[in-house]
Structure 1
């Protein structure tokens, strides 16, 4: 009968300090050996490995001597932008190739034999040349104004490393001034073109506005209030002229009525210039027509003339016409009474004379004098009537001219809204063009000033301090550290192995 296998159950416990001390004592050769070997190898390699030196220069961007409140500086652009712009030129393939091939430097001779020159240039740019922005206390390095940056170059020859950094610093300083000048010149040329374009556009708009004003003289929106005021003034002048015309027309009617009355009276007096005189009772006795009768006849003639003129304008029931008709009837009765008394007196005087009376036609001197006066009055009245007619014609012409001007201004007022939009657009374009022209003029002046400042080196890059080369090999310390790390790693592996071994199950 087969017996089964006997297994020993071993309980494991976590190792304590004594266990670790025991493991170190048992496996000390495995720990010290690799650590010592790594130290020896690293020391040998570090001494045999060629030294690499690092040369560093710090350059500071100094502000311009002229205040930026007076002239904005081109240096206010971001540090990264300026560095990229200069770095692309300085670290280009052609520049670095020329730097490597310089007889005084003759860099990377061994590397040139092992790989193409393009790869050497690429490694030099990407691995051995480093450019960094530095945070200088008290400067604005948060992203606006460049303050300082460092140039670092690593090489196995400390003197050549310093010479390379010297040349890179010189190139950066030269390139910085060149970049500033190129940027300023490009800006100035651009602003010249833009300023010329803006000036041409401004002149074109000015000519359009002048042409528009000439074509729409008096129809501009800004003249609307003046046009309305002028229309009101002209309308008041027309009203005044109409009043004067009505007054002058009434005066003409009165003068015409006066002339008609005088002409009627003259006609009447011409019919009665000779009177009938009765002779008898003795030589030299003359009985002239009664003077009262002559005055009554004259008054009747005047009233009849006025009545005829008034009837042209009013009806017979008009009160003044009724009054004139009553006066005419009264004067007619008085005339008849005077004639009756004169005839009665003549009849009574007839039988007393020795001889019967004889009728004789003689000229009445009073009537003749009255006729001369009437002719003079008629001539004066006609002269005054001519003056009145001329005044009426002048007023009518003036009223016609005023109405024509009123119509002209009304046309302007009606046309103003049609031109307002076009005029407003022209003025708006002109104001924008004027503002753009002023802005370009200001920028052009600033650019010219900045260009002059750049030519006189008013601002730029300069070394912040003298740079020096490190005499400490970079890679030797690194290799020593690497050997110690390898030794510690070996110790850890040994300890781990011993720990695993101590924890292995026992049979």
Structure 2
């Protein structure tokens, strides 16, 4: 009564005793059929090689590798390149793969790709980075062909790794070289701008403020000394002219006029000396734009013009302009001293003018230093940035050159064949043990399914639980097994049971129910 009531362990044992042959037959037949089918499947031979990945032979502290991409990604990229049509088709044509099948070249290429397997080896060392190596395998119908094709594919991996690393290193070097040339041009431009700026503002550059202040202080001291010396020289000259006027005898007739004129001139010259001393004192403390300095300079200029317009009719001047052979020795000495004093005064005034010009120049430098310093900082900042960028690129390019040379000499990371492609002794597939095991499992499943279907469709009543599940009526009694009933046909047997049940049900309801 499978499917009509819950089965117990006794039910399962009973079913197994009745229908065990339905399970045993497919369990025996299907493995035999599967084993026989292995002789009908074309054998496949698997050739495999081991490629290990050797690190760079030169320590990274000396030559840093320029290829920083992950090995897994590079291996995947190389796999796609090697499995491309341009790489697979020559191998198919060289060994005439899958020629016995009526397939197009595209189908043959797809079949070859499925026959190639790249299996990375996971590192067993804890905290290790990268892959220690990978397996390359190829399946073919002939053992020798599988070995040769596996060797060719491995050679493609080795060559592609060398080409890709060398091309990557060379590309990095070329890129850095072009960037370095641009950085050098940029650095030269900033260098030229900085040099022109230094030539244009020489003496006003940052760091020269204190020397300019010291020089300005020294020039002011020199100007004071020159002004005082000029004042003394003019006083000496005025005294000598007065002495000459007193001793000159050639202009006695005009003594009255001559005495009034020199006195006026001497007074103005003394006033000029006082103004010059005042100007030197103010200049040492203030700039040329200070109002008092401008006023004093204006007075000095006006007084000098008045002195220049004063008629030179004094006795000393006439004597100097027109020397007389009858003059005494003292008069001649005075004239010589006056002439020498005039020359010294002119030289001292020239020195004074030069010092004042230098003072104005240094004052202008000090005043313009903040603006020059700001512009100079901008230029030097751009120059330092360009210089740092250039030095960094130069270092990287030198490292890239060494890495490129290392790759060309095959001293960098390399793929090395640890085990050559093997010549398989036995076919990789079909595996007879797998086929037999599959047949065994399939036969068992088929037998169980057959038994289940038969039991589900079987309506025989074999025990009290079957009666209760079929009629939902309690059992009043159990009829013992009889040989007579066993000889009756199944239809008659079922009718007999029905009549027996009818008689039991027709008894009075007071009759106790049997368990």
**TM-score in same-fold range (> 0.5):** yes
Structure 2 spans left out of the alignment, 5+ residues: 256-261, 272-324, 459-464, 472-515
Deviations 1:135-194 (A, max 9, x none): 23459764xx55322212222322211111111111211222222222222223223322
- Look up the match of 2:428: 473
Tell me the distance in 2 between the aligned counterparts of 1:28 and 1:135.
Answer: 49
Query: Judging changes above 3 Å, is the alpha-carbon distance between structure 1 residues 149 and 387 closer, same or farther for their aligned structure 2 residues?
Result: farther
TM-score (norm 1): 0.68
For 1:262 and 1:66, how far apart are their aligned partners in 2?
Answer: 105
Q: Do 1:245 and 1:395's aligned partners in 2 also have CA atoms closer than 8 Å?
A: yes
Specify whether residues 209 and 132 from structure 1 end up closer, same or farther in structure 2 by C-alpha distance, changes over 3 A only: farther
Which residue does 2:416 correspond to in 1?
Answer: 462
Distance in 2 of aligned mates of 1:192 and 1:116: 48
Contact 2:67 2:169 in 1 (8 A): no
Alignment-derived partner of residue 173 in structure 1: 158
Q: Would the alpha carbon gap of residues 501 and 420 (structure 1) be closer, same or farther in structure 2, given more than 3 Å must change?
A: farther
Q: Are the counterparts in 2 of residues 23 and 498 from structure 1 also a CA contact under 8 Å?
A: no
Shift of residue 96, structure 1, vs aligned partner: 0.5
Q: Which residue of 2 aligns with 1:506?
A: 470
| Superposed counterparts of 1:108-507, under 5 Å | 108-111=98-101, 113=102, 115-125=103-113, 127-138=114-125, 142=129, 145=130, 147-263=132-248, 375-459=328-412, 460-468=414-422, 471=426, 473-476=428-431, 477-494=433-450, 497=453, 505-507=469-471
Cα distance in structure 1, aligned partners of 2:218 and 2:453: 120
**1:454 Cα deviation from its structure 2 partner:** 2.5
Q: Distance in 2 between matches of 1:16 and 1:57?
A: 57
What is the root-mean-square deviation of aligned Cα atoms in Å?
3.8
1:323: which partner in 2?
A: none
1:19 matched to 2:19: no
Decide whether the 8 Å contact of 1:209 with 1:427 is kept in 2.
yes
CA 1:162 to 1:217, structure 2 compared with 1: closer, same or farther past 3 Å? same
Cα distance in 2 for residues equivalent to 1:498 and 1:83: 57
Shift in alpha-carbon separation, 1:240–1:46, aligned structure 2, 3 A: farther
1:106 is aligned, of 73, 96, 106, to 96
Unaligned runs of at least 5 residues, structure 1: 1-11, 272-304, 315-371
After superposition, what is the alpha-carbon deviation per residue over 1:216-275, rounded to whole angstroms, capped at 9, x for unaligned?
3333334344333333332332233223333333333443444445459x989xx9xxxx
